[in-house]
Amino acid sequence: MMLFSTLNRLPSVIFTWQSEPFYILMIFKKHYCLICKYTICLFLVGILLFCSNTAYSAEKNSSISTIDKYTDNSPELALLKQAKSLKYKDKKQSTALANEALLLSQNNKNHRLSAHSHYLLGELARDSKDIEQSLYHFLEATILYKKINENKRLISSSVDYATMLILARRYDEANKILDELLPLAEKSKQDLSIALILITKGAGYYEKKHYNDAIEQYSQALKYLKADDKIVQRHLGETYKNLAQSYKRLRNREKTAFFYRKALDVFTALQDKKLMARTLNTLAEAERYLENYVVALEYSVRGLEIHEQIEDPAGRAKALIGAGIIYRNIGQYEKSLTAIYEAYLYFTKIKDFSSMGKASNQMGLIYTRLKQFGQARSFYQFTIDLPEEQIETKTLASALRELAVIDLNDEKYQSAHVMAKKAYKIYQKENDYLKGSTSARIIGNIYRAQQENSQAIAYYRESLAQAIKGGNELYQIKAQTPLAALLSDMNSDEAVSLLKKSLELSTKINTKYQTLYAYRELRKLEKRRGNIAESLGYAENEIALSKVIQDEREEEELVLAKANLYSHKMEEELKSLKKKVRLDQLQLLKKNTEIEIAAQARIISELELTKNKYASVALASLLVICLLAVLFIYKRFVDSNKRNKELDYLAARDPLTNCYNRRILFDFMNRDFVDTTRLSEYCILMVDIDHFKEVNDSYGHSTGDSVLSAVANILQNSVRQNDIVARFGGEEFCIVLPGAPKEQAMDIAENIRQKVEASSFNNISVTCSFGVASIKFNAKTPSELIEQADIALFKSKSLGRNQVSLWEKTFKPKN
């Protein structure tokens, strides 16, 4: 600004057009701002060139550090970071990189990075549903974190280890670990860690179906989830959901709805729309069980509205099923079918047979309500025809049970028997006493329809026994009443006793229809026994209760009418809301257009101020130079990364076969043999191509190399993900099988042998001999184990080649 002011004070007379220097000075004064911009651009170019030189130097240093494993650049850390970045994109590559990071960190005695690598490998194995590998890595991470006194990570890895033990159904081991962990977390005063331990204990009890114990653990965890940060609040919401699910299993509908509402409040505060939508769906289900249909419908519609805004097709499909059930209960069958059929189409698209079966059953129930039994039958039959191993047994049992009822009504007694008994067997196997009680009662109804009363009585008694085991008084009543009706002619005293018990229970739980049925049967029975006064008393009670039921039915119809009205209102509001959203979008588009027009006007105004075309060209040139410099640096950076990856790969691989080289093989095995006490199962295979020298002599080394590479490809494609295939030398390979017992190792070797024997390589057939050795044979070092496998290989060759031999003490060593 000082320079500009000075120029303004210069006498204007000196700026003449006859003098070139004076002309330049005038231009400088006029375009002072542009000159400042040029200066800044030149400065930026200088910085970029300096950065380019620095990047090039860093590239050189990085290349050197790739080869030298023991520099300060910590290549194991870089590998681990790369592995983490690929965790969700490419699990196989992530696993390979994490294993390499683990090997390097162990060689460098970097316990912290070794622990991190084990932890990542545990997560990857867990995501791949490899429980044993996940358990191994989480345990190793836990041991290392304990060794370096990282208590927070120790607790985290221990909790993950316990979680995997629960998945493996090793509940007692998991509980023991968590009990030992709890005092450490309490001593460290880590509230979240304490909560996670208690939550995991609760999960263990939940899986064991000890729901009251699970509730106790979850309730204790709530005391430690008080912080306001998002992680703690998310765990709080999940814990409320776990409590709701536990109460759901105990059929405590009020508590279920209460805790789902608590979870919804938390997820709403977090603005987690996916969890909000899914919780609204489960809350709608809870309210439906409480017969609060208006409230249930409101939650369901809200959930579906949120699902329209997010990408969660599976959650939306489940919400549609829930909405369909609510619509069915309030008599809106067309809407119910529309919702459930839409969900069914999604499940069909992704080939989710289990959910397809559930949706098909729901459509069957709708047609049953509509008394269109032919249509209902087709949907139940569809569920039954699905692959049995891919649907839940209770879904199959439901279809069988409902089809049995339809066949009973159609007087197809033989088919009804088959279906009902299949369902009954499933419920017995699952220890589902209440549904078992229902199925037994259906079988009793079938026998009664066939007038086989003794068989019917036996199954009604079984239905009653199942209901008592399940602790459900309503199911007891439903079994007792038809049982009493059949016993009325055989044993009237027992029949009266059963009916009075039904009357007592139905009054207790306030189920008026069952009370009415009991009054009716008692009236008939007492009349047949000649007890006219008692029969009249029951008749009066029956008439009075019928009036009450009629009044309640009218109220229920009013409730259903209100629910239908509310449904219509919600639909209209939804249409109005969608219309408003469209208008808002148009308004937003209009404002954005106005902003763009204003921006364009501003650009035009700025362009009008810039009249010197030479200055504009210079500025554009400088900007192009800057852009080129940035692109140059970026290209060098990408090339550097690519070169580093290639160097890493080449340093570990045999160039001909793409197998690991001998050095890497011994690195892996030395790592595994650090503590042989933890190697419960561990095998290696030594593989040698038979008469390979004859191939080279007959066809040339180029063809021999092709055969060698093709055999190596078969070896690598025939082993498990974590197994290691290395070229040991010449035509000899070594395969490491961590965690494999000798029987499995023999199977793998035999499988490879058969594949090689069955293959042809450029019309050349070769075979391989195999030697198998196991850690169970007391090898203390990798060299000893390899020597045992080599002796076994020699045995295969001495037996005529193309064989698999397992090392034995009786084998003589090679001469």
CA 328 to chain centre: 31
Tell me how far apart the alpha carbons of residues 294 and 197 are, in angstroms, rounded to a whole number.
Answer: 39
Alpha-carbon Rg for the chain, nearest whole angstrom, is 39
Residue 18 DSSP symbol: T
Long-range contacts of the stretch 386-390 (C-beta < 8 A, 24+)? 386/353, 386/356, 386/357, 387/353, 390/353, 390/354
Check whether 672 has a pLDDT greater than 70. Answer: yes
pLDDT at 524: 83
**3-class secondary structure per residue, 336-404:** HHHHHHHHHHHHHHCCCHHHHHHHHHHHHHHHHHCCCHHHHHHHHHHHHHCCHHHCCHHHHHHHHHHHH
Residues paired with 400 in a beta bridge: none
DSSP summary character for residue 509: T
pLDDT digits (tens, 9 = 90+) for 749-802: 999 999 999 999 988 999 999 999 999 998 999 999 999 999 999 999 999 999
What span, in angstroms and rounded, lies between the C-alpha atoms of 792 and 685? 9
The tokens of 268 are what? 């709403």
pLDDT tens digits for range 622-654 = 888 888 878 877 777 676 666 555 555 657 889
**Amino acid 542: pLDDT:** 82
Residue ranges in 610-652 assigned as alpha helix (H): 613-652
User: d(Cα 662, Cα 660) in Å, to the nearest integer?
Assistant: 7
Q: What is the mean pLDDT of residues 121-144?
A: 94
The pair of three-digit structure tokens given for residue 121, joined into one six-digit string: 């490998």
pLDDT of 315 above 60: yes
Overall pTM > 0.85: no
Tell me the percentage of the chain whose pLDDT exceeds 70.
Answer: 82
Q: What is the pLDDT of residue 579?
A: 64
Locate tokens 């990570």: which residue? 153
Average pLDDT over residues 149-175: 94
Q: Percent of the chain having pLDDT more than 90?
A: 60
CA 116 to chain centre: 22
Say which residue, 243 or 591, is predicted with more confidence: 243
Res 458: pLDDT = 94
Instruction: Tell me the CATH number for domain 662-806.
Output: 3.30.70.270
Same fold, 181-271 and 272-391: yes
Superfamily (CATH H level) for 181-271: Tetratricopeptide repeat domain (1.25.40.10)
Domain borders along the chain are 181-271, 272-391, 662-806
- Kindly indicate the confidence band of residue 547, based on its pLDDT and cuts at 50, 70 and 90: confident
Q: Is the pLDDT of residue 504 over 70?
A: yes
Q: Which residues contact 300 (CB under 8 A, 6 or more apart)?
A: 280, 281, 284, 319, 322, 323, 326
**How far apart are the C-alpha atoms of 478 and 487, rounded to whole Å?**
15
Specify whether the CB–CB gap between 112 and 83 falls below 8 A: no
Strand order through the sheet with 804-806: 724-729, 732-738, 682-689, 768-774, 804-806
Whether the pLDDT of residue 412 is over 70: the answer is yes
CA distance 163 to 708: 45
| Through-space distance between the first and last CA atoms of the chain, rounded to whole angstroms | 94
Per-residue pLDDT, averaged over 168-189, amounts to 92
Any idea which of 74-83, 561-570, 667-676, 755-764 has the lowest mean pLDDT?
Answer: 561-570
Nearest residue to 709 (alpha-carbon basis) of 701, 698, 697:
701
Taking residues 242-270, what's their average pLDDT?
Answer: 95
The answer for 778, left when phi > 0, alpha when psi is -120 to 50, beta otherwise, is left
Domain at 272-391: CATH code = 1.25.40.10
In this prediction, residue 61 carries a pLDDT of 38
pLDDT of 167 > 90? The answer is: yes
Written as six digits, the tokens of 377 are: 């039958």
